[in-house]
Structure 1
Amino acid sequence: MAHMFSLWDDNIREIEIVSDALTMVMPEPDDEVEQRLTLKRDGTVTLKRFVFGNGINQYTEKENRSFSVSSQKMMDLFDYIGYYLQMDSGQLLVTDVGYWNLFITNSRGHRTPVSGPLFHNEEIICYNEEPVCDIIRDLLGIPDLLLFDGNMDRLDFIDIEYSHKIIDSEAYSKKERLQIDRDAKRIIYTVLDAQGRRYQQILEDDKQIFTLLNELGDECLVERQEPVTLAPDAKPALEISYRIDTRTKQGKTYMCEDSFDRYHIPEDWEDFVVLFKKYFEKQLRLGELFDETYYNREVRLLNDYCFVIVQFSDYGRDYAYVCEDDSVKAGDWVLVPVGEFNTTEKVQVQRVEYHQPDRAPYPLHKIKKVIRKFNSATDVAPDLEATDIYRD
């Protein structure tokens, strides 16, 4: 391994890694909280596992096993650990995580300690795009070692399907699909537009594919938000949905499908979007899947009121009106009552919001209602300005 600091060549006799996963959260008695991995130059490997136990005495030993590996494999293990120590900045200060202590014993019996935080972060130390901790796990054939990162698994595959349909319109249907595959070293982004045309972008052998998956972690897009109850009478003008499938190195799979809106996307969806754009926004042309207008869109919950936010001049203040027409969206023109005499004005909707009565943008009893959506065929006289014909 070129340019790698070699603990083997330095005549190190033994390496012990103590990984303690205890945090501020009280573990259950059977939760594994510590591992002690010892590697000896003669090829002997010893692994001890400890569970929390009763919390009064020391941890309870769960497993104590030893086995042997070849001299070449032990040499590789020593060198990968040396590489990790060489690349580790040692400058991270974090709280509420576990820690690791590493003890290096030389030929004279002198024991040198090194320590660091036990957590999985974006500064993952890799060798040829492969996390060093994963390489060590593979060499030993023990996938659930805590080691330096506490990350016993990794994300290997993501498949996201997106569908956008307009209700009562068979003419408009749009689909997108994003596939990120570590093994194939490939990203495929497919778009089927409203005219039925299919576009596909393929990115292969980009090192940032590995970086993205490593940073996302094995539980990416798994956590769901707190459930909400939609209004039973809500009739959205469009239907946008998604399906996500993920797979980890250890074979764990996860699937979820739901409405694509601010209440039903995975809890970390925005983090995923930000990280994906960080690495691939310049290489790929991204669509609605990554557009905040869609993934952060409002939907009406039980007891929600619909409010349209309007402005009466380019740089004017925002005004809120209650709207009972679910088809109204940002960019539409509506008729609203204005002022003491409720003069009818035509105004463009800046955005649509849904709020519970106690969280209305203005006291509910003082907010006026939208009269109706503006109809250019019937509401505009040929020779008059649009706003003039509604004034008293």
Structure 2
Amino acid sequence: FLYLPNLLSEANAMETPRNNVLQNFGQAQKAVIWFGNPYMPWHDSQVPGGKWGQELTINADGTCTVQPMVFNDYQRLSIAGQPTEHFQIAPAQAESFLRQILVLLNYFGNCTDDTNATISTTIQNVNGNFWTFTGYPTDEPAISQLAMEIRDSLNRADLMVLDGNGREDFIEKFVVDYEEQDNYHEQLVLTRVPNTVTYCRRLIDGPAITTTFQWPESEMPLLDSLNPVDFTTTIPGVPANATDDNGQLGHFTCTITRRILPSASFGGDYERYCLPAPWANLMHSIEELLDIPTTGALLSSSYYTRKRRCLDEVIYIGVKFFEDGREYNYLTDDDSIQPGDHVLVPVGGDDSEQELTVISKHYYKRGEVPYPLDKVKRVIRKIDEE
């Protein structure tokens, strides 16, 4: 997740053109942003082998249109029965978008006569002259930020715009509550307005410790890098043969407040089976962002990457004999052993006993183990704390 300053503040840095487009072009009056999706087939008898695309037009007077299109390598037509959508934004906002588009695409893209490119933007000036840009990187953070600003202004998160990263909806608020059986509690709150991350730990019979990070208003909200559907449709679910967690796992609930669609909620035990695919990256990014000495379970990879064992899985634990040495694996049937625990293990040809600290724990299907089962020694026992 990247956080970028306002694009206009960097315009001067980008206006060292490879040609004289910016000097010669003058004031932009219209931009036609075309994004064709080659992976989305669309049947149309007039366009053999057709694919779906979208054309967004932004005019300097603030009028904007969106038109679904069907295309192939030779032609591009409006889709029958799907009317053009019309929008109105403030002229000053439209002029700002046109200026930023011209600056960014002149810097990152190629000025060309290619009118059949899958992704292109054509800009017209006050004299009716046209320039078409292609080849700009859709994963460039500055382009993605501008694309989200345009979506936000038109209140349409699903638009393809410049980068093709349309979303199900905008996220206005993202709240996670976490609790354990002893009433320990954490909360994480991300908001669009104000653009903040707030992390609170409520200690058992103690104070609540709250950390808040707030970006300048000009910076891209963290929530704009998230797509609600990625969180609501990628939760794997707990397998039917999963063992009981014996109270070792905390419980969480997550509520996503969307701008147009109803709020979405999910929750469960705080483990990989109950968490959506983007969770680990999001928590890691927030941990790095807050940069505080001590965080709790929500932001700890040892919590959000763990999962309960299934009955057909074996347990491998990892130990090191030296701090900078290689990791060695042992088998165990004791699922209560966790990283940080001390265990007694057999070492060497005479299987002498040695106490070591567990640094990792993994579950594997018998046919997917990293080392043959008959070649791996077993933990003698866990050493309980005095």
Contact 1:332–1:348 (CA under 8 A) maintained in structure 2: yes
Question: In the alignment, which residue of structure 2 is the partner of 1:168?
Answer: none
TM-score, normalising length: structure 2: 0.72
**Which residue of 236, 251, 254 corresponds with 1:241?**
251
User: How far, CA to CA, are the matches of 1:375 and 1:203 in structure 2?
Assistant: 40
What residue is the counterpart of 1:103 in the other structure?
A: 123
Q: 2:151 aligns with which of 131, 134, 140?
A: 134
Does the C-alpha gap of structure 1 residues 297 and 11 become closer, same or farther in structure 2, counting only changes over 3 Å? Answer: closer
Moved more, 116-125 or 358-367: 116-125
Q: Which residue of 1 aligns with 2:305?
A: 296
Gaps spanning 5+ residues in structure 2: where?
A: 1-7, 13-21, 45-50, 111-116
Matches of 1:336 and 1:92, distance apart in 2? 60
Number of residue pairs matched by the alignment? 353
Residue 173 of structure 2 corresponds to residue 157 of structure 1? yes
User: How many angstroms apart in 1 are the aligned matches of 2:83 and 2:339?
Assistant: 64
Structure 1 counterpart SS, 2:311: coil
Out of 349, 366, 379, which is 1:357 matched to?
366
What residue in structure 2 maps to residue 81 of structure 1? 98
Q: Distance in 2 between matches of 1:118 and 1:343?
A: 59
Structure 1 position 326, deviation (Å): 1.9
Alignment of 1:152-301 (within 5 A): 153-165=169-181, 172-204=182-214, 206-207=216-217, 210-217=220-227, 219=229, 221-224=231-234, 226-227=236-237, 229=239, 231-236=241-246, 238-251=248-261, 253-281=263-291, 286-301=295-310
- Residue 15 of structure 2 is matched in structure 1 by none
Q: How far 1:64 moved relative to its partner? A: 4.2
> Match of 1:161, as an amino acid?
D
Question: Which stretch of structure 1 is more off in the superposition, 287-296 or 251-260?
Answer: 251-260
Please, which of 80, 83, 101 is the counterpart of residue 61 of structure 1? 80
SS in 2 for 1:365: helix
Cross-structure match for 1:328: 337
- Alignment gaps of 5+ in structure 1: 166-171, 378-392
Deviation (angstroms), 1:17: 1.0
Contact 1:48 1:62 in 2 (8 A): no
- Please report how far the alpha carbon of residue 249 of structure 1 lies from its aligned counterpart in structure 2 after TM superposition: 3.3
Identity of aligned residues (%): 19
Distance 1:330 1:143 in 2: 42
Distance in 2, matches of 1:66 and 1:315, equals 62
In 2, the alpha carbon distance for the partners of 1:34 and 1:376 equals 63
Question: 2-side partners of 1:65 and 1:376: how far apart?
Answer: 70
Higher helix content, 1 or 2: 2
Give the CA deviation at 1:18. Answer: 3.8
Question: How far apart, CA to CA, are the structure 2 residues paired with 1:68 and 1:314?
Answer: 62
2:32 to 2, 17, 34: 17
What SS class does the counterpart of residue 229 from structure 1 fall into? coil
Counterpart Cα distance in 2 of 1:250 and 1:52 = 30
The one-letter amino acid of 1:253's match is S
Q: 2:54 aligns with which of 16, 30, 34?
A: 34
Evaluate the alpha carbon distance shift between residue 329 and residue 51 of structure 1 in structure 2; reply closer, same or farther with a 3 A threshold.
same
TM-superposed CA distance for 1:181, in Å, is 1.1
Alpha-carbon spacing, 1:316–1:303, altered in 2? closer, same or farther (3 Å): same
Report the residue type matching 1:83 in the other structure.
Q
- Deviations for 1:316-354, whole angstroms, at most 9, x for unmatched residues? 554433212222222333333445554444443333222
Which position in structure 2 is the counterpart of 1:384? none
Q: Distance in 2 between matches of 1:57 and 1:249?
A: 33
Judged with a 3 Å threshold, the aligned counterparts in structure 2 of structure 1 residues 111 and 255 are, in CA distance, closer, same or farther, namely same
